[in-house]
Structure formats: C-alpha cells, structure tokens
Chains A and B, each alone.
Chain A
Amino acid sequence: MKKRLATVSLAGCFGCHMSFLDIDERILDLVQLVEFDKSPFNDFKKFTQHCDIALIEGGCCNEENVRTLQEFRANCDILVAVGQCAIMGGLPVMRNAIMHSNDPLRECLEEAYNDSDYVYNPTNEIPNDPALPLLLDKVYNCTEVVKIDYQIPGCPPSGDTLWYALVALLKGNPYELPSELIKYD
C-alpha cells in the first residue's frame, strides 16, 4: 500500500519545497511509493486522512505556524524537520538574538516599518490587522513546539539528500545519511 505523505512550509522560504522538485525524474518513482495528502504540491488545504510521513519546512514565527505544526503532529506518524529553519530557526531566528535588544520583536518591526531609511510610512503604522496571524515573541524551531522524529539538514537540503532520506523512511529503514549528503548551508 502506498504511504501517505504531507508537506508544509511554516516560517520558511519554500526553498526546501523547490529543492524537493530537484529529485527530477525520480518523482515518477516517488508517485509509485506515496500518495500526497495536505501539501502545497497539490494544494490540499486539509488532511483527508491520517498520514505516515510529513515533511516540515520552516520554524514557528507566528501562532498560525504553531497551530499548523500541532495539527501535523496529531495527523502524522513521522515528522521530519527539513532544512535549517525547521531544525534551528534558520534565518528568521536572527530576530531573537542578533537584534541585541530587550524587546527584539518590537525592534524588528520598527526597523522594518519605521526606522529604516528606505521605508515610506507617513502614518508610522505597523501592520496590525486582525486577519494577520499574531507574531510570537521569538522564533521557535520545530523541536521546541512538538516532537520531531527526524531531521534533514541543509539550506536547502539537496534533491539527492531529500530523496535518500525519504526513500529510507518510506521503506522503513533506519535513517542514515552519509556524511557527503550532510550540509548545513
């Protein structure tokens, strides 16, 4: 029976999803092995049933990310954190420590919408529409929010790395990455 695979991009750039497409013609082998459930690849917005494996791209920078990640944890057997953002926060995590501020989120927003020399914002307003997901005080990686079973490092992981790890997981093999496929950048 085909395994069910779900994917999601939280606070990420979709680079890992793009890199997934670098498996090229192996995608023909993949469709023999998996059925896609909730994923940006098929634009399914909701889970249709319980899934075997989920690939998580990106960490959590707002409440919607947290809710989505918890939904994935509840609906999938194996969660795989894909890429540096999911593993350690990645680029968004720069707002936690590198801002050198007691209130890094405030400073980040001020810089983005008011203080920068290249911003035209006569009302000095920071976007605050109720439809926007509420930003978290800091950026959290996936392991800080839910239990993560595996990690595929990289920014993004290469198509080869993703393929290697995914095939191992689909076949139920113990997950092994040869050192030439481990990259943090």
Chain B
Amino acid sequence: MNATIKFRIDGTQVVTKAGLTIMKAADNAGIYIPRLCDEKGLEPQGSCRICIVKIGGQIVASCTQPAEDGLEVENDTPEIRNYRRDLVKMLYHEGNHLCPICEASGRCELQAVSYYLGIFQPTKYPYLQPDRPVDASHRDILLNTNRCIRCGRCIRASKTLDGKNLFGYIGRGIHKQVGVNGENLANTDAKVGDAAMALETCPVGCIIQKRQGFFAPIGKRRFDLKPLGTNSVKQQKGGSEQ
C-alpha cells in the first residue's frame, strides 16, 4: 500500500503514506504529540491517553488511531492541553513522585511532559500516597514501584524485544499495577542488558540500574539538554494554565 494521504494537524498539512497512526505521521512531519505509554519499537497500547487528539468532535488516542485522508486533527488546543494536564496531574497524585530525591529526575518523561504542558498551578486533587513495595532483590536492578505509572512499556519490551515476559499487569482499576513474573526480580532471568531494563524504556524512575544513580549532573541530564517537544516544527511555549 503506497497510497499517499493528506490531512491536517492544527491546520498544518501533513502528507504521509497510508496505514500509519496519527502519532507516527505527526512524528514523521516533525509535529510533537506528547505521550507516555508509547515508545519507538513497541506496539502502541493507547493506555496513558496523554496523546489524545480531537477529530470531528471525538477524542481519540493518536498512537492507535490510523491517519486518514482529509482528517482535521486538533492537537495543541487549550481544551486538549487541559485534558492532558489533568491526566498527567492525576499520575502524580496516584503514586509517590518525589522529584527532588529521584534518580530519574531530569531524564524522567513524566516530568518532561509536565514541563512541556506547563503544569504548575495549585494542586487540585488529594495525594493518595499509596503504600507500594520496593524490590531490591536483584543484584543490578531495583524496582521502585512508588514511581510506576503503569505505562506497560517494560511489559511490552520484555515480551516482544527480549522474549522473556518478565512483567505483567496485576489487578484492575486503581489497584492495577505492574508485577514481576515470579517471586521477585532476583528469581527471574532479568539482566541489565535487557531492552526492558534500558534507561529509555521506563519513562519514570521505577526501573533503576543499581550503582549508577545520578550519573548525569544537573544541567546535563537528558531533558535538561533537550526538553520534550523542542525539536518539533511547532513549539508550544508553556503558557498559562486556565
């Protein structure tokens, strides 16, 4: 299928080959759509809903929605931005996200997306402060589930890239969490070289490689050097939150 389709994102024309998702097409055109559960090389699962866009009055996840000819996609509008902000804020309230003490601070995608969305207004929701376990059993890897946002990137990476199936979802609703397929991580064949354990796979600081915390100084961390969305054609200057 080599047909070319044309559609618009916030009025900018995007020309792409047919069969891609809206997010892939936007990425190819250099238009940034924020996301947390999607990662290059992994099957999109459309669970975090940060990448939502509006098409004809309908809100859809752009990582799973196929691009079609003639679509008018609303991406960076005040309405969508506010939805995204609320979704991201709720992630902070649901877990224990202590940026000041976190090894992943500065290379954390949750944090970088929050900066991109310009989240700074007074807290709306109560902090749930859940009691979540830390699995330090493995020699080289530490799991701090206080920071898990259940994006499932490690689950998919382990299944499709490593062929190991180390992680899986447990529970439903607000009790849903990512669990280790075994008694603890030490009792699995997890290794530092696994794609699931790579620094880029976990968007937060849940999967941590031991003995290399804070390896980059402040100012030289991943998103200090290149904040999310800044290489895009369209740059959003974090505006005020209404």
Residues on A facing B (Cβ under 8 Å): 81, 84, 87-91, 93-94, 96-98, 100, 138, 141, 143-144, 148-153, 155, 174-180, 182-185
Contact = CB atoms under 8 A, between A and B. Distances in A.
Interface string B116-134: 1011111100110111110
B123 A143 contact: yes
Given A176-B240, A179-B115, A184-B111, A97 B96 contact: yes
Contact of A141 (B100, B127, B236): B127
A84 B99 CA distance: 8
B205 to A, nearest CB: 11
A43 B132 CA distance: 42
Contacts of B97: 88
Contacts of B167: none
Nearest to A90: B100
Given A97-B146, A141-B127, A91 B101 contact: yes
A182 B98 contact: no
A100 B116 contact: no
B123 A182 contact: no
Contact of B99 (A98, A148, A152, A155): A155
28 contacts: A87-B123, A88-B92, A88-B97, A88-B127, A90-B100, A91-B100, A93-B127, A96-B129, A97-B131, A97-B146, A100-B133, A138-B129, A141-B127, A144-B126, A148-B122, A150-B121, A151-B120, A151-B121, A151-B122, A176-B240, A178-B118, A179-B118, A179-B237, A182-B119, A184-B99, A184-B100, A185-B102, A185-B105
Contacts of A182: 114-115, 118-120, 238
Nearest to A94: B98
A178 B99 contact: no
Contacts, number: 89
B120 A98 contact: no
Contacts of B92: 88
Contact of A97 (B99, B111, B122, B130): B130
A136 B211 CA distance: 35
Contacts of B240: 174-177
B203 interface: no
Nearest to B224: A183
Contacts of B122: 81, 143, 148-151
B226 to A, nearest CB: 12
Nearest to B101: A91
Given A143-B123, A153-B120, A182-B118, A98 B100 contact: no
